[in-house]
Structure 1
Amino acid sequence: MASSEQIVQQYWQAAHRRDWAGFAALLDENVVYEVPQTRERIRGRDHYLDFNITYPGDWQLRVDSVIGNAQQAVSRITFFVDGTSCEGISFFTLQHGRITHILDYWPEPYDPPYRHTAHIERY
């Protein structure tokens, strides 16, 4: 059986290629997808598949890292759409080789508060 890291890598590769049959095969029938920033929740493989198929724009993605254990994985990707990019951090829960839950964060960059210290390097 594939590791959680391998399954998440396959998930992102299938999404990037628009291999929707391969993408769906990695999902549990009752998968739940959540995005806290937008307060979106999608329940079920078919609904989540439709959510991805209908995402607007000519988007691409790059997997930057994936780490995991037997039943969980975390990925960091860079998502490109319409000339812009953003970072996505996704938390996956897996059971029996299928993804059962995805918690997706799309953090936006912001300026930190001022601190009176010389020990912080901005990049």
Structure 2
Amino acid sequence: MLSKLEIVRKYWDLFDQADFKAVTKLMHDHAVVWEPNTREVFRSRSAFLRMHEANPQPWRIEEIDMLSEMKEGIIVTVVKAYSEKTPESYFITSFFTFAGEKIIEIMEYWSMNGEAPAWRNSQGFSEAY
């Protein structure tokens, strides 16, 4: 039996391999995925995974931080999604909720990686790293 943390790590490994069929085994039949940045909700595991299969961008996933279980058994992760076909990349902060040993809900926040607005650097508010 895998721990919740191990299940989430496997989830991201399978996403990195674009093995969405195998991801179905980790998610509850009635899983719901929320993406507040784009005001979307995927009300079924099937819809969420079909969307990823249809995505023309072959995303790779790099683990940045895998936090331990938070209150109520929620697992929080930060990963980087990138493609070798485009310079775009994103940080994804995700909150995984479980029903037994299956992921029942995911709340994902995607943020595009890029340059800070020039005015913030030029006025000395921040510096690039």
Q: What residue number does 2:57 align with? A: 57
For the residue of structure 2 that corresponds to 1:12, the secondary structure is: helix
AA aligned opposite 1:87: F
- Which of 87, 95, 98 is the equivalent residue of 1:94? 98
1:75 partnered with 2:77: yes
5+ long unaligned stretches in structure 1: none
Identity within the alignment, %: 25
Q: CA shift at 1:56, angstroms?
A: 2.2
Q: Which moved more, 1:85-94 or 1:101-110?
A: 101-110
**TM-score of the superposition, structure 1-length normalised?**
0.84
Shift, 1:86, TM fit: 1.5
Residue 12 of structure 2 aligns with an amino acid whose one-letter code is W
| Equivalenced residues, count | 121
Counterpart in the other structure of 1:18: 18
Letter in 1 for 2:32: V
Between Structure 1 and Structure 2, which shows a larger proportion of helix residues? 2
Extract unaligned runs of 5+ from structure 2: none
Displacement of 1:63 in angstroms is 1.1
Q: Report the aligned-residue RMSD.
A: 2.4
